[in-house]
Amino acid sequence: MENAGYLFAAFTIIWAVVFGYVLLLLNRQRRQQQEINSLKEASKEKQAEQ
């Protein structure tokens, strides 16, 4: 099959970039959620002290 390598490369790159981007977003979202939770906790503690 002539040029099958190019076809394989194109599809591999598409899926690698899409999955890589999705993983990046999920990772960033997890860190954001952790930060939101810790900021809310800190705010509750501050209100309790006051």
Return the structure tokens found at 37: 């939770």
Judged by CB under 8 A, the number of residues near another protein is 27
**Residues in region 8-37 near another protein by CB under 8 A:** 9-11, 13-14, 17-18, 21-22, 25, 28-29, 32-33, 35-36
DSSP string, 3-39: THHHHHHHHHHHHHHHHHHHHHHHHHHHHHHHHHHHH
**Which of 23, 39, 48, 50 forms a contact with another protein (CB under 8 A)?**
39
- Pseudo-torsion of CA 29, 33, 39, 43, nearest 10°? 140
> In the complex, which residues of this chain contact another protein (CB under 8 A)?
1-4, 6-7, 9-11, 13-14, 17-18, 21-22, 25, 28-29, 32-33, 35-36, 39-40, 42-43, 46
